[in-house]
Amino acid sequence: MNLIVPILLAFPSLQDAPIAPAQDPPTLEITLQDALRLGTAYSLALQASEAIEDSARYERDARWARFDWKLRVEGSLTDAQHEGSSELSGAPILDQQDQGLTMSLTRPTTAGPTFEVIYNSEETTTNNSFAYLPHSTTGTLTLGITQSLLAGRGRDYVTSMQFQGENDLAFQSESVRAVRRALVEQVLQAYWSLVSAQGAMESADMGVEYAEEFLKLAQDRYAAGVGLELDILQAQTEVAVRTQTRTQLHIGRMYAEDTLRQFLYTTNSPRAWSEELIAVDELPEFDSEPALPSWEESYLDVRRISPEIRQQELKLSTANRLLHVAESDEQSRLDFQLRISTRGFEKSAFDAWEESIAAEYPSLTAAIRWDLPLSGAEPRARARKTRAEVRNAQLELDSAERKLTSNLRVVMRALELQHLAFKSAESSQELATRQHKIELARYREGRSTAMRVLAAQQVLLEARASMLEARATHVIARGQLEVLLGQHDR
């Protein structure tokens, strides 16, 4: 016989290794204010909407920068030789070097006209004997203004892109507010759903406890010879059914935890997602007489601060401005240009500049340019397209107002009706509690049946569940009303 086996069996520590006790998962107690603070701080959707708002702000600034002064500098250098064609050419072989420099400052204005300041310098060196100077510089200073007389005239046309940029920025700002509102509403609903799930678990535990107590009572009566085996079977069945219900409610509580958890964490760490969340705030009690304004009175305040309504109004405003632009483009384009020029001719570039500034030899030029599309099909089509966009924007605004009215009425009705539902459930609970006590006492005396006792328990549990549901629905609706009234915008 192998001696190792009995030696190993002699050591209990080697036979049965101790099993480490299972550790309870970490818990995190959280209040509603904590949930709202973490939800708004860690929301990726809110951060993305704020990034889009920044992008719209920079685009707005870039469009207004169109009216800044613009500097343009051009330079040229030419070295040419060619044979003279006659005795009057100035030289048998003409040698000429030209250096050109043009600087211009241009600034379009929000009122419509475009101003420009241009200075052109041409420096020439030549061996032409007929040239006034072998080395000369011609400087020309020009002041000009261009104004549209038909299509494209007026501040509304000129600043249409800037107006659209301003509205786009305001639209994105309202979008940030809408995302924040939706986020707050989701956090409120998730938090109170978790509180409701916790209350449902407590009711389920109480239901199982009632069923187990009745099962023990039925077993004691059967052992004493005054009860029925059928009562025990009914009680055992009820324990199993209520245990199954408690399991389903536990699954619902876990789902409510994960729904709230997605707003609280920025990490996918398994440790963070394995924490058990406990909502510490309790469902608020109902007021005796809820003071609620009519939805007609609340609608004006809600509409005035609604981000969705404001967004649609901005879209309609932008569409109307673009329609003005499209209708202006349907006209022919007639531009008027006025230029005043002075010229200086000297040996050096500086002297030519001084002479042009002195304006000794001014010249005035007025010009008109007319641009007329023969068919006009493109501007007409664009105007029709823009009119369709205006109609669409108006319809979307009407739809948003209708949706806001519906949401407000649903919330106001929920606040009113859930109060009535709670009062009814509260009355049912009081009556069911009395009925349960009476039926239980009658059963102990042998004057009632197990089915009547269990039915009374079930009515009591259903009344408690109805009270809990009414309170949870009421507080969620109240949170939705607070969101509509803008109490969580900041």
Cβ neighbours of residue 480 closer than 8 Å, sequence gap 6 or more: 185, 188, 407, 411
pLDDT exceeds cutoff 70 at 129 = no
Residue 396: per-residue pLDDT: 95
Query: How many separate helices (H) and strands (E) can be counted in the chain?
Result: 13, 8
Residue 85: per-residue pLDDT: 65
Which domains does the chain show, CATH number per domain?
Answer: 27-67+152-331+377-485 (1.20.1600.10), 69-108+113-151+333-371 (no CATH)
Residue 375: per-residue pLDDT: 81
pLDDT exceeds cutoff 70 at 390 = yes
Helix axes 450-484, 229-261, angle to 10 degrees: 10
Q: How far apart are CA 211 and CA 245, in angstroms?
A: 13
Residue 23: per-residue pLDDT: 60
What token pair was written down for 485? 């009234």
Choose between 260 and 134: higher pLDDT.
260
pLDDT, tens digit, 9 for 90 and up, residues 464-475: 898 888 889 888
pLDDT exceeds cutoff 70 at 134 = yes
pLDDT exceeds cutoff 80 at 128 = no
What token pair was written down for 436? 């349960």
Range with lowest mean pLDDT among 39-53, 243-257, 355-369: 355-369
Residue 87: per-residue pLDDT: 59
Range with lowest mean pLDDT among 7-11, 88-92, 450-454: 7-11
pLDDT, tens digit, 9 for 90 and up, residues 261-279: 989 887 777 777 788 889 9
* Residue 35 identity: A
Confidence of residue 95 (pLDDT cuts 50, 70, 90): confident
Residue 426: per-residue pLDDT: 84
Residue 422: per-residue pLDDT: 85
pLDDT exceeds cutoff 50 at 3 = no
Q: Give the residue-averaged pLDDT of 138-163.
A: 89
